[in-house]
């Protein structure tokens, strides 16, 4: 499977931080694109951050400067460090792996091959 359930979801106050993790077992870490998506109530799923096999990363405009995607090859774990959280960050967060990732200027387009199960993050004001 692509991942174990994302951990460290839950509730946090506005301005707080939270780190999500995702153990990816299907692909060697760093061999394929990977990323994070989220889906807020009543909204479409959107890309949050992605990282290519060469380490190039991209972020949604709404999270730039606040979120950081990283990988630990030793533990096959991908992380999403989320700082300065806002109520608008409330969503179900999914990790994803494989597929195609394209960078265009400061933006990126990512179509994963595999999805994680999702974890709820709630930011209270």
pLDDT of residue 2: 46
Taking alpha carbons only, the member of 54, 44, 26, 12 closest to residue 116 is 26
How is residue 63 written in tokens? 């999270």
Which neighbouring-strand residues pair with 18? 82
Residue listed under structure tokens 């109530």: 41
Taking alpha carbons only, the member of 38, 69, 75 closest to residue 52 is 69
pLDDT, one tens digit per residue, over 32-61 is: 999 999 999 999 999 999 999 999 999 999
CA distance 22 to 43: 23
CB count, 10 Å around CB of 77?
Answer: 18
pLDDT, one tens digit per residue, over 102-124 is: 999 889 999 999 999 899 999 99
């Amino acid at each position: 499977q692509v991942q174990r359930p994302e951990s460290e979801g839950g509730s946090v106050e506005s301005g707080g931080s939270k780190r999500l993790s995702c153990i990816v077992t299907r692909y060697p870490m760093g061999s394929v694109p990977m990323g994070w998506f989220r889906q807020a109530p009543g909204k479409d799923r959107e890309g949050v951050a992605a990282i290519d096999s060469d380490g190039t990363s991209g972020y949604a405009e709404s999270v730039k400067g606040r979120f950081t995607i990283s990988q630990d090859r030793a533990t096959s774990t991908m992380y999403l460090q989320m700082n300065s959280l806002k109520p608008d960050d409330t969503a179900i967060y999914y990790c994803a792996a494989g597929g195609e990732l394209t960078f265009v200027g400061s933006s990126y387009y990512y179509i994963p091959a595999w999805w994680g199960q999702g974890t709820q993050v709630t930011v209270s004001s």
